[in-house]
Amino acid sequence: IVGLMALYGSKAIRGHGIPEAMEQILTNQSKIKPTITYLKPISSAIAIGTGGPFGAEGPIIATGGALGSTLGQIMKISHNERKILLASGATAGMAAIFCTPIAGIFLAIELLLFEFSPRSLIPVALSCITGAAGHHFLFSSGPVFPIDHLIAIPSNKALLIYSILGIVIGFFSVFVTKIVYLIEDGFEKLPVHWMWWPAIGGLCVGIIGYFSPKTLGVGYENITDILSGSLPIKVVLSLCFLKFISWAIALGSGTSGGTLAPLLTIGGATGILLGNLVLIFFPDSGITLSLAALVAMSAIFAGASRALLTSIIFALEVTGQSNALLPVLAGCLGSYIVSFFIMENTIMTEKITRRGVKTPDSYEPDILET
C-alpha cells in the first residue's frame, strides 16, 4: 500500500521525514507539496499500524512541516518566513508526541533552521508550547518514559564509566548509520521496481516479528521497560539486535516511518548490555542499569543525528530525571565527538548529500553566498 501511495501520490512520503524537510528548506525555499500533509500521516499510519518497527515522530515532524509550508505558500510570505513556519509545524509535532518543547526548539535550531535568532526562536517556541499543551490535553502531563525511581547523582567513578559508554555508543551510532545506507544501496540494485521495495521490507519485518513480536510497531512501551532496568537479558538482546535488523531493512526499503523511537530502543538495549558487563567486572563501579540505558539512548541519537543539544534535553524531558544531566551530557558529547571525526554525514544528511545538497554545520554567515 505504501509503495502504491508513493507511486501514484508522491515519492516524498518515502523515508523518515526529517531529511526530506531539510532538503526542501535548503533547495526549494521551504516549499513542500500540500499533498504531503495527508499522504505522509496516512502512509505512516499504515506502515506502523501493521507492525512496522518505526516511531511516529518522524512522520509527525514531516506532516507538521508540510502543514506549516502549505500555510506559508497560501499566505504569500518570504521564503525565510516560510522556513520558520515549516520548522514551527515540525517541532510542534515532536512536542505533541513526546511532550518535549525545549528539545523541539533545539531540534529546529540544529536540524531545520540553521540559525539562532529571535525572529525564528519565538514562533518555534510558541508552537512547541502549543504542541506540549496538546500532549497534556490528549495524553497526560507526566513524562513519556517514566522511571519508577529517582536517579541518584552519580559518583565521579560512575561518571567516568558513563563517559566511556558514550564513546562506545558513538562507534555504534556510526555502524548503525552505515548499515542503514548500505541496505538502502542494496535495494537500489534489486531488479524490481522501487514500488515493491516496501513490500519486501515488510516481509522481512513480518518474519523477524514472528520470532520476536516485541520488535513490531512503535515500541514506546519497550523504551519504558528498558529504562526500568528489569528486562530479562534475552528480551534485551532481541530488542538490541533483531529490532535493529528489522528497522534497518524496513527503512532501507523506503517505507514511511521515523527513526527516533527505534534508535532509542536499540541504544537503550545496548546500554543495558554494556552496563551488565561493567557490573560483572566492576561491581563497585556505582553505575545503575537505568542510567546506563538513558545515557546510551541519548548518546546514540547524538551520534547518529549530531543534534547534540536536542539529544541531551530530550533525555531529561522524556524521563523527568534532572540528576541524569551530567552523565547524559558526558555520554552525548563522547558519542558526538566520535561521530564528528569518523562520519562525514549523519543519518539525517547522508541521503540529501548524495543528491548534492550541502547542509550547514555552523551558524556563521557564508559571505560569498550572501
221-235 pLDDT, tens digit each: 888 889 988 788 888
pTM of the prediction?
0.89
Q: Cβ(39)–Cβ(47) under 8 Å? A: no
3 state SS of 9: coil
Determine the Cα–Cα distance for residues 57 and 146; give it in Å rounded to an integer: 18
- pLDDT score, position 16: 66
Res 111: pLDDT = 85
Q: Which residues pair with 256 in a beta bridge?
A: 15
pLDDT along the chain (370 residues), means of 10: 84 72 76 78 84 80 83 85 89 90 92 84 94 91 87 91 95 93 88 89 92 86 87 87 90 81 91 92 88 95 92 93 93 95 86 78 69
DSSP sequence for 89-123: HHHHHHHHHH--HHHHHHHIIIIII----HHHHHH
pLDDT at 149: 85
In this structure, are residues 107 and 18 in contact, taking their beta carbons and an 8 Å threshold? no
Query: For residue 79, which amino acid is it?
Result: H
Residue 175 confidence (pLDDT) = 94
pLDDT value for 252: 85
Q: Which residues are registered as beta bridge partners of 55?
A: 258
Strand (E) or helix (H) holding 366: none
Segment 122-162, tens digit of pLDDT:
999 999 999 999 999 998 888 889 888 888 888 999 999 99
Is residue 159 left, alpha or beta, with left meaning phi > 0 and alpha meaning psi from -120 to 50? alpha
